[in-house]
Amino acid sequence: MSAAAVLLTSFAVAPLTQAAVSYPTRLSEGSGVAMAAMSDSYTPSKTRPVLNDNLDAREKQAIQIGLYHAVGAKVPHISPICSSGECYWRNFSTLAVCAAVVDVSDKLVVSEQTSPSTLGISLGVGNGDEPVHNARLSSASVLIGSTSTCNLNMSSPVVQAPTGQKDNFLPAATSLAFSESDARVSSAVANFFVVYTNQTADLDRQSTAFRAAEVLLHFCVNKYEVSTAQGVSITTLIGSSTVVAVEAEEAVPVAVAGRTALSNASENLSNSGLAANVVLRSTADNKDYSVQRDDVRLLNRYIQTVFSGTYSYRHGTRIAGWTAAGDVFGTAMFERDEESGGTTSFGDPGLLAVIGNVSQNVATSMTNAIRAIDNKEDGIVLITESYIRVQWSWLAFLASQVAISTMFLLGIMVQTAVWKVKIVKGSAIATLFAITAKDKAALELERGEGEESPGMDFETNGMTRKLESLTCRLTQANRGWALDLARREIEGT
């Protein structure tokens, strides 16, 4: 029984031979191109003629892409270059643009209801005397309208430049939500205000429907995790920080809104109006990233031009001051809701979130443009290779099965010899050798059943009938095995 069990087990584990030795694949470092875009400075003037006082076309396109991107979807990060479809990069930091949006509705001053003509303006619609309110911020950003006329106005604060300075675009003196010591103000690109109504339906008390938000676009340092697997690239933003310093200045870190600013650096920037360079220091790798203020002036001017204008839910392009950018914000904020009579169902938090989404898409698109201008972060190219893997545990198990089976076979052979077990071998060859050649030839001739074959004499046919009546068997004799021919009676004999 033991031998039979081992034999059956051997058959059962035979398929495991395929598992003992396999040929899997793995990724290993190879040759090729693996580059991810990154930048440690903002110096677009390197790629722009000295006498050309216009913003780089790539940055203009980036702002437009971010502005007109679907509000409910994020602008994708710039894709890396990977020649093999399998690449890996270590986490790296790069200069970027971030967006901060803060609700400043508590700083709004809303006038009593009046007519546009009293304010000396025209709404540009059929009914120019429809009652409106004047919702004003201290930064001179205003919305003259109502829930049924003008629903949104975007504008940038106007700042008087100090003597000897071309432009003072730093929002330190104009920001309503960010303090002068905030690192985001020191690294600012531009800020603008959005004054809007939180509804588009007629209300009894129109003055309670006005809201306002400040949007600040500023330079920051982003840290990314980038990888490419099976030809699909994934870029994940791990974190963002804003730490500002000025060269040759001693600075004391100050915590501002979850970030770290350098207080005297911000103060110096605010007082001087302009600085040659702004240096951002990454909290992740302690690396410096520089920004040229002269180049930022062009970017600031373009943003102020684009992010301005009005929007009306009811009157569309007929409202005075209508712009494409205003229409983008307004359309995203005031979606048509027939059940509520056209009133948006977002609510105050939802409307503010829409402004944040559009602003963040613009910031991400600007970051892609900045990263594409300068340096590259090299990665590791991975290729697929096959190798031999031996499962030694399975191989040892199979070897033990073979060894045990061999031992049982040898044991059976030895024990059989000791016990002198009689071995019977059956074969038709013995019967053939027991018949004479003449009789064998006669048996091989074809003949009809029940009649004698032609060409055979009586003696031969008689021999055939005798052979048909014989029974052959092997019997054990003194000297081995012998063929015993026993006669059996057949019908007709």
Whether 367 shows a pLDDT value over 90: the answer reads yes
- Are 239 and 263 in a shared domain? yes
- Are 75 and 202 in a shared domain? yes
Phi, psi of 34 (to 5 degrees): -140, 105
Assess contact for 426 and 474: CB atoms under 8 A. Answer: yes
Other beta carbons less than 10 A from residue 371's beta carbon: 22
- Are 92 and 209 in a shared domain? yes
Whether 483 shows a pLDDT value over 50: the answer reads yes
Residues spanned by the domain of 241 = 28-384
Whether 132 shows a pLDDT value over 80: the answer reads yes
Tokens of 250: 């001693």
Domains of the chain: total: 3
User: Which pairing describes strands 288-292 and 142-145: parallel, antiparallel, or unpaired?
Assistant: unpaired
Other beta carbons less than 10 A from residue 330's beta carbon: 27
Go through 149-171 and write b for each residue having 16 or more CB atoms within 10 A of its CB, e for each that does not: bbbbbbbbbebeeeeeeebbbbb
Classify residue 412: in a domain, yes or no: yes
* pLDDT of the residue at 263: 35
Classify residue 325: in a domain, yes or no: yes
User: Which of 30-39, 138-147, 411-420 has the highest average model confidence (pLDDT)?
Assistant: 30-39
Return d(Cα 91, Cα 226) in angstroms, integer: 7
Tokens of 168: 């003072």
What is the pTM assigned to this prediction? 0.69
Task: Tell me what the mean pLDDT of segment 149-178 comes to.
Answer: 69
* pLDDT of the residue at 375: 79
Classify residue 473: in a domain, yes or no: yes
Classify residue 397: in a domain, yes or no: yes
* pLDDT of the residue at 76: 94
CA nearest to 87, candidates 269, 229, 189, 208: 229
Classify residue 137: in a domain, yes or no: yes
- Are 331 and 463 in a shared domain? no
- Are 268 and 295 in a shared domain? yes
Whether 264 shows a pLDDT value over 80: the answer reads no
Confidence of residue 252 (pLDDT cuts 50, 70, 90): very low
Return d(Cα 283, Cα 241) in angstroms, integer: 7
Ranking 83-92, 396-405, 468-477 by mean pLDDT, the lowest is 468-477
- Are 115 and 168 in a shared domain? yes
- Are 101 and 153 in a shared domain? yes
Ranking 10-24, 137-151, 186-200, 254-268 by mean pLDDT, the lowest is 254-268
Classify residue 152: in a domain, yes or no: yes
- Are 189 and 298 in a shared domain? yes
- Are 135 and 20 in a shared domain? no
User: Which of 113-127, 178-192, 256-270 has the highest average model confidence (pLDDT)?
Assistant: 178-192
- Please write the tens of the pLDDT for every residue from 10-39: 666 666 666 677 778 777 788 889 999 999
Confidence of residue 219 (pLDDT cuts 50, 70, 90): very high
The residues near 144 (Cβ < 8 Å, ≥ 6 apart) are 116, 119, 121, 123, 132, 133, 134, 135, 150, 153
- Please write the tens of the pLDDT for every residue from 373-388: 777 888 888 888 888 8
Whether 187 shows a pLDDT value over 90: the answer reads no
- Are 362 and 217 in a shared domain? yes
- Are 413 and 370 in a shared domain? no
- Are 441 and 358 in a shared domain? no
* pLDDT of the residue at 273: 43
Whether 267 shows a pLDDT value over 50: the answer reads no
* pLDDT of the residue at 258: 34
Classify residue 492: in a domain, yes or no: no
**Mean per-residue pLDDT over the chain, rounded:** 76
Tokens of 454: 């032609």
Last residue of a domain, one of 384, 405, 438: 384
Assess contact for 213 and 101: CB atoms under 8 A. Answer: yes
CA nearest to 485, candidates 459, 460, 461, 467: 467
Classify residue 312: in a domain, yes or no: yes
